[in-house]
Amino acid sequence: MARFILASALASVALLSAGPALASQCPKLINQINAAAGNRFDAAAAEARGKAAEAEQLHKAGKHADSEKLAKEGLAKIGVK
């Protein structure tokens, strides 16, 4: 029984610590967009900055998968892989 409790506790810690690690991907992608499109004034850069702003709002709302998807679309608009 003690092993089961210990295994459950370790599994819970692992799951709880994985959430913030995955969430940190969003700001990194958003910063990449802002850095790459910062000095550009073309339509693609403006659209990418718009997607970065939307991705940041989704990140703040806790919708990290949607935020990451939108940020990756923004990066693709300006040719960053």
Instruction: Using pLDDT thresholds of 50, 70 and 90, give the confidence band for residue 16.
Output: low
| pLDDT value of residue 71 | 95
In-domain check, residue 6: no
In a domain? residue 9:
no
The answer on pLDDT for 20 being more than 80 is: no
pTM over cut 0.85: no
Determine, yes or no, domain membership for 43: yes
pLDDT in tens, 26-64: 999 999 999 999 888 999 999 999 999 999 999 999 999
Rounded CA separation 42/18 (Å): 38
For residues 64 and 11, which has the higher predicted lDDT (pLDDT)? 64
Does 65 fall in a domain? yes
Roughly what angle, to the nearest 10 degrees, separates helices 43-60 and 25-37? Answer: 160
Judge whether residue 80 has pLDDT over 50: yes
Tally of structural domains, the chain: 1
Give CA 17 to chain center in angstroms. Answer: 16
Task: For the chain, give the percent of residues with pLDDT over 90.
Answer: 60
Query: Rounded to whole angstroms, how far apart are CA atoms 38 and 18?
Result: 31
* Domain boundaries, position 57: 22-77
